[in-house]
Amino acid sequence: MTLEYLVNGVPQPPEKEIPEEIFLGFGINGEDNIISKESKSYLKIRKYESGNIHYSARFHSGHLFDPWGIFEGQERASKWVKVTEEVADKYRQYLRTRNKAHYAHSNRRHLDG
């Protein structure tokens, strides 16, 4: 149900909801670091007032960005892609633990849709 606003008797579309963005980077010990710069993060979480949550992850060459792989240090060449909660959770586990099994699983889940 959407509410319409009237201005001089003319219905107006509702204002777009602006999400709270959380950028996650990861420290040496694998802990999550909420950081202020998008350029230094690998996972982005957008929380809306309506309760919706959207996840985005860095991708490079069609795969989740691996900060310790062959594209290390090439964050600028990566792009943000919307992913599911399951992909975001597995990718987050990989970034915390550096366990390649989590990385492979998150890539596979993204490709499977």
CA 81 to chain centre: 7
Nearest CA to 39 out of 20, 58, 53 is that of: 58
- Residue 75 has a pLDDT of 82
SS3 of residue 113 by DSSP: coil
Residue in the block written with tokens 């980077």? 25
pLDDT tens for the chain, 113 residues long, are 444 556 566 766 555 667 778 777 765 555 667 776 676 788 888 888 888 889 999 999 999 999 888 988 888 888 999 999 999 999 999 988 889 999 999 999 999 97
Burial class (CB in 10 A: 0-12, 13-18, 19+), 37: exposed
pTM assigned to the model: 0.74
Ordered by start, the domain boundaries in the chain are 20-112
